[in-house]
Amino acid sequence: MNRRTKMFNRSCYYFLTLMLLVLSFSPLVAHAKEDTSFRQENRPENLKDFLESIHQAIYTKKDLKQAAVLYRSLFPDPDRIRKALKDNVSTDVIEKIMSIQREFGVPNEYNISEVAQADQTIVKVHGATTEEIALYQKDSIPFYEFPGRTKQVAERFLRPNMMFYEAEFVKSGAGSGIKYHLFYWDGKRWTMLGPVWRVLR
């Protein structure tokens, strides 16, 4: 057997091995897609239920892979980000928002439990329109529940006449807990912008 034939046979072996690996993992990929089948609706109660389902997947069902898939589904791509922003916002702004995802990394089965503590079983959702956040009136929901810098974000970047939500995981009897920022309905499902004021200065 000459050298060229040996190289050809070795290439075929590696190719077949790779194909077998792909085929063996395909059921896992399909299962991951099925895990996003929570029925999402444009209602704050539905957002609350969705976040509770992530907590239950972590601590009740002990299904960390499912929890990570559900949480990752909140992370936007550029098209979903544009749904939340004014039409004249530049692509540079989109890229800066995307950089937040890179900063926090990809949620997976090893770090998903950091989303909330086991005893933070209650999810609270607080909603306001772009205009209400921009006004940031004293004693309003934005005043109490939205970080102060969301005011400038709403004034400069957020799409008019749109609802945004702050959500937090809290312990029973506690006034506050771990908070997540600027959820919105992108037309198909829930999306989270996150603390975009860190990059939109």
- Name the 3-class secondary structure at 148: coil
Could you give the CA distance from residue 115 to residue 58 in angstroms, rounded to a whole number? 9
What's the pTM? 0.81
Do 163 and 60 touch, CB atoms closer than 8 A?
no
Report yes or no: 85 and 93 within 8 Å, Cβ to Cβ. yes
Query: How does DSSP classify residue 60?
Result: T
Distance, CA of 21 to CA of 17 (rounded, Å): 6
DSSP 75: S
Cβ atoms of 107 and 64 within 8 Å: the answer is: no
Burial group, residue 27, by CB count within 10 angstroms (0-12, 13-18, 19+):
exposed
What are the boundaries of each domain within the chain? 1-34, 35-198
Residue-level pLDDT at 59: 98
Structure tokens at 160: 């008019």
On the 0-12 / 13-18 / 19+ scale of CB atoms within 10 A, 150 is buried
Q: How far is CA 131 from its chain centroid?
A: 24
One digit per residue, the tens of pLDDT, for the chain of length 201 reads 544 444 434 443 333 333 333 333 333 333 334 344 689 999 999 999 999 999 999 999 999 999 999 999 999 999 999 999 999 999 999 999 999 888 878 899 999 999 999 999 999 999 999 999 999 999 999 999 999 999 999 999 999 999 999 999 999 998 889 999 999 999 999 999 999 999 997
Tell me what pLDDT residue 22 has: 31
The 3-state DSSP class for residue 165 equals strand
Greatest pairwise CA separation for the chain in angstroms: 84
Of the candidates 163, 95, 88, which has an alpha carbon nearest to the alpha carbon of residue 133? 163
